[in-house]
Amino acid sequence: MSPCVKRKPLFILFFFTQFILFSTYTFVYYINNNETNTLKIDVDPLIIPSELHPLPASLLEEGDRSNLNENYKNLRIRTKRKFLHLKTNEDLKSLNVTSIKDIDQSQTIIQCPSLPPNLVGRISPDLFSYNMEEIEEHHMNSSIKLGGHWSPSHCTARHRVAIIIPYRNRDMQLRIFINFMHPFLQKQQLDYQIFLVEPVNDISFNRALLFNIGFREAMKIYSWQCFIFHDVDLIPEDDRNIYACPAEPRHMSVAVNTLDYNLPYRTIFGGVSALTVKQMESVNGFSNQFFGWGGEDDDMAGRVLTKYRISRYPAAIARYKMLRHKQDTPNSHRYSILGLSTPMRSVDGLSNVQYKIIEIERKKLFTLIRVTYNETLIKQSVAHLQKKKPKSKLKKT
């Protein structure tokens, strides 16, 4: 028998072995690659990581939403599977649960992802002014608690956010705002509540003072981390405009349709702004001296810039539509008050805010805080800072 004939069985066995190894490797690679799906995310054994990899804007558009949602679904499934290996009481105690059954019911185990999975980018707001009864019925099954407080049920929100709105005689704008903002904020998976602060009819409107009052009263009922100070006539046009607070105070209404979606000037801080509790307290809140329209946002910008920088989203994301309304009467003294901004910062604001609560009403979709205040007493609190006019020198005859 020739040597070639003797080696033929060995060659066939070697080839068959290589084929089996290659097939096994291919199968394992396919399974691992399919499990991680589109995005490569390293998962902590217990919680979703605090920061996901940056995603291009295209992944937030309509065509790729399914991939993003499927990835989030797989991530939750893999995380839950980790818990099935927990056997001892010590393992369960570390998760603050007492049994495996509690894992399915606990909201503290899985933290909401840094990037909410259902964002789509540019949106078209529904600006029809439904009546409030229709709006309440529409949101009846959205698990909004009395007073306008909502939080996600399937994960723990990363941000606890209070929305403060100074309000007077803007019923149509309010109905549009409430109807739109609840689903907008829920898509961002926030733990949030909407507060309206309304002065009684016989006193001057003071937007900044109402912000201070809203901050004080909201902090009494919940441990908020972030405050969004929001005009009721501004509606966001992009759900990537996340209503949360960064390391620096954020001016959120960068591009407004009535201003041709351009930033009027670099230090503007009006419309919609976001500050953490620490930031708000460190600048002593807003000034209480601006009765009537205008000036308070420029004063606040000055306060912020003494300790921080003003951050902003890109104009392509931080877009807003302004609802039509009657123009307010400008405050004729706003420029003279702005002249006292620097000496007023330490003595006027949260530190000396004066008001009286008339009523706090927890409505179905928001909390209404009715207040009164004494304009004369508030102005007198900084009267000692008024600049004295220099005496004119009389000419000797």
The enclosing domain of 268 has a CATH number of 3.90.550.10
- Structure token digits, residue 172: 């149509």
In a domain, 272, yes or no: yes
Same domain, yes or no, for 21 and 162?
no
Burial of 50 (0-12, 13-18, 19+ CB in 10 A): exposed
Q: Is residue 306 part of a domain?
A: yes
Residues 38 and 148 in one domain: no
Is residue 189 a contact partner of residue 144, using CB atoms and an 8 Å limit?
no
Helix 207-219, helix 296-305: angle, nearest 10: 60
Domain containing 18: what range?
Answer: 7-48+80-105
Q: Does 372 lie in the same domain as 231?
A: yes
95 shares a domain with 192: no
Q: How many CB atoms lie within 10 A of CB 198?
A: 20
Angle at alpha carbon of residue 60, lines to 54 and 66, rounded to 5°: 110
Number of domains in the chain: 2
d(CA 264, CA 279): 24
75: how many CB neighbours lie within 10 A of its CB? 21
According to the model, what pLDDT value does residue 146 have? 96
Residues 33 and 164 in one domain: no
Question: 156 and 11, same structural domain?
Answer: no
If you count them, how many residues does the chain have? Answer: 397
74 in any annotated domain: no
Strands 191-199 and 149-150: antiparallel
Tokens of 77: 């499934």
Together in a domain, 208 and 345? yes
Structure tokens belonging to residue 243: 């209503």
Same domain for 185 and 332: yes
**What number of CA atoms fall less than 13 Å from residue 364's CA on the CB side?**
15
b/e string for 150-160 if b means 16 or more Cβ within 10 A? Answer: bbbeebbbbbb
In terms of domains, do 199 and 244 share one? yes
Distance, C-alpha 364 to centroid of its chain: 21
Both 12 and 150 in one domain: the answer is no
d(CA 254, CA 319): 6
Do 99 and 141 lie in one domain? The reply is: no
Tell me the DSSP string of 289-304: ---SBSSHHHHHHHHH
For residue 308, the one-letter residue type is: Y
Residue 35: the pLDDT is 42
Distances (CA, A) of 34 to 29, 31, 37, 112: 8, 5, 5, 23
Q: What is the pLDDT along the chain (397 residues), one digit of tens a residue?
A: 555 555 667 667 777 777 777 777 666 565 555 444 433 333 333 333 333 333 333 333 333 344 444 444 454 444 444 444 444 455 444 444 444 444 444 444 699 999 999 999 999 999 999 999 999 999 998 899 999 999 999 999 999 999 999 999 999 999 999 999 999 999 999 999 999 999 999 999 999 999 999 999 999 999 999 999 999 999 999 999 999 999 999 999 999 999 999 999 999 999 999 999 999 999 999 999 999 888 899 999 999 999 999 999 999 999 999 998 777 777 777 888 888 889 899 999 999 999 999 999 999 999 999 999 999 999 998 888 875 444 444 444 3
* Res 64: pLDDT: 38
How far is the C-alpha of 263 from the C-alpha of 255, rounded, in Å?
6
Question: Torsion-angle region of residue 385: left (phi > 0), alpha (psi -120 to 50) or beta?
Answer: alpha
Of 105, 120, 146, which residue sits at a domain end? 105
- Please report whether residue 276 resides in a domain: yes
Q: Is there a domain that residue 371 lies in?
A: yes
* Residue 68: inside a domain: no
Examine residue 57 and state whether it is found in any structural domain, yes or no. Answer: no
User: Are residues 230 and 143 part of one domain?
Assistant: yes
Say which residues have a Cβ less than 8 Å from residue 111's Cβ, sequence separation at least 6: 47, 48, 50, 155, 156, 158
Query: Is residue 69 a part of any domain in this protein?
Result: no
Q: Which residues pair with 66 in a beta bridge?
A: none
